[in-house]
Amino acid sequence: MKVLVPVKRVIDYNVKVRVKSDQTGVDLTNAKMAMNPFCEIAVEEAVRLKEQGIASEVIVVSIGPKACQEQMRNAMALGADRGIHIECNEFPESLQVAKLLAKVVEQESPGLVIIGKQAIDSDNNQTGQMLAALTDMPQGTFASKVNVAGQSVQVTREIDGGLQTLTLSLPAVVTTDLRLNEPRFAKLPDIMKAKRKPLAVMTTEELGVDITSRISTLKVTPPPVRAAGVMVENVAELLTKLRNEAKVIS
């Protein structure tokens, strides 16, 4: 069984994000980039399925500029077998990404698609669900546990009321939550081996998908600066401030 894992290049989560002076977007100049954390979890889960003998091949796919290949090589160092890079210099919207991935699914016929539930830059949480709809595959979102058995996959997902377990027929789409696993670190020998793994490059035109943007960004602003907290000596002083200054109690 093939497992397809889309990965996205984003600003490293440890980096303090800066907004451009003209407020048109986030300043990416000299910013450290990394694989989206939810995508790392998806890669780890796919590699574990391969180690268990359930998956025969793990394929990573990424959409974006040539620099995306750095994150794809990292995914291959973690255990993916090959990569597919859909090269474009634009930033496709969720539906366009889902349409491009649907074309790859049509070409590769994976038994399972494991995708991060959201990217930490756009934070949309849309692509996995849209991909499932476009490919007419069952979906299990926010997975905290995945168990493949025969021609079905059992997905335990986190919901407001606790945990919900779904059984999906393969092929299926699964989106990963934070508690699914702990991604491994790439070892130096694996990083060197990843440089020799096959990486195919194609364009959006070859896949026949229009990526013209249909959403306009009006303005991007940083969050307001929070006022510094105040230390109080005792509970009585706290109650006084809450009553007279904050006026949240009477």
What residue type is assigned to position 43 of the chain?
Answer: V
Rounded to 5°, angle at Cα 87 from 23 and 90 = 20
DSSP code string of 125-155: --HHHHHHHHHT--EEEEEEEEEEETTEEEE
Quick one: tokens of 30?
């000299």
> Is residue 223 scored above 90 in pLDDT?
no
| pLDDT, the chain, mean | 93
Query: What domains appear along the chain, each with residue ranges and CATH number?
Result: 2-244 (3.40.50.620)
Return d(Cα 54, Cα 66) in angstroms, integer.
32
The predicted-structure confidence for 28-52, as pLDDT tens digits, reads as follows: 888 899 999 999 999 999 999 999 9
Q: What is the pLDDT of residue 57?
A: 96
Neighbours of 7 (CB within 10 A): 27
The predicted-structure confidence for 60-104, as pLDDT tens digits, reads as follows: 999 999 999 999 999 999 999 999 999 998 889 999 999 999 999
Q: Which of 80, 120, 84, 123 is nearest to 100 (CA)?
A: 84
Q: What is the pLDDT of residue 222?
A: 86
Quick one: tokens of 58?
């793990």
Q: Provide, rounded to the nearest whole percent, the portion of the chain with pLDDT above 90.
A: 75
> Is residue 216 scored above 90 in pLDDT?
no
C-alpha radius of gyration, the chain, whole number: 22
- Exposed (0-12), middle (13-18) or buried (19+): which is 97, by Cβ within 10 Å? buried
Q: What is the pLDDT of residue 212?
A: 87
Q: Which of 225, 219, 224, 222 is nearest to 22 (CA)?
A: 219
Return the exposure string of 203-240: e unless at least 16 CB atoms fall within 10 Å of the residue's CB, then b: ebeebebebeeeeeeeeeeeeeeeeeeeeeeeeeeeee
Q: What is the pLDDT of residue 7?
A: 97
Q: pTM value?
A: 0.87
Return d(Cα 59, Cα 77) in angstroms, integer.
12
Q: Which of 15, 16, 9 is nearest to 34 (CA)?
A: 9
What residue type is assigned to position 192 of the chain?
Answer: M
Can you tell me which residue has the tokens 């809450």?
242
The predicted-structure confidence for 160-215, as pLDDT tens digits, reads as follows: 888 999 999 999 999 999 999 999 999 999 999 999 999 999 999 999 999 988 88
State CA 239 to chain mean position distance: 44
